[in-house]
Amino acid sequence: MVSGANSGANFSLNASEYQQNLKVRILNVIGEVIASEDLQQFIGEYTKQIDLTNNAKGIYFLEIETDNGVINKKLILQ
């Protein structure tokens, strides 16, 4: 699940019952990394709140790289 607010992004991720490596990144529209976190051998539920108040209003992307592929979600900062 991913949700946004005027000042940031909240998201939670539920990894399946086996361990996997995760890379979580927030990117701007030109591909610059705004925030990132690497989770090694992760299992369970991961919840994160990222403060984007110092960033310009616009479109950002949440990218979650797992052992099984990449998940991309669009975030709109208003």
Q: Is the pLDDT of residue 14 over 70?
A: no
pTM of this structure? 0.73
Encoded amino acid at 35, one letter? A
Residue range 17-73, pLDDT digits in tens = 667 788 889 999 999 999 898 888 877 777 777 778 788 888 999 898 888 889 898
Which pLDDT value is given to residue 50? Answer: 78
**What are the sequence ranges of the domains in the chain?**
2-77
Q: Is residue 60 within 8 Å of 26, Cβ to Cβ?
A: yes
Which pLDDT value is given to residue 22? Answer: 83
Counting Cβ atoms within 10 Å, is residue 75 exposed (0-12), middle (13-18) or buried (19+)? buried
Which pLDDT value is given to residue 55? Answer: 84
Name the CATH superfamily for 2-77. Immunoglobulins (2.60.40.10)
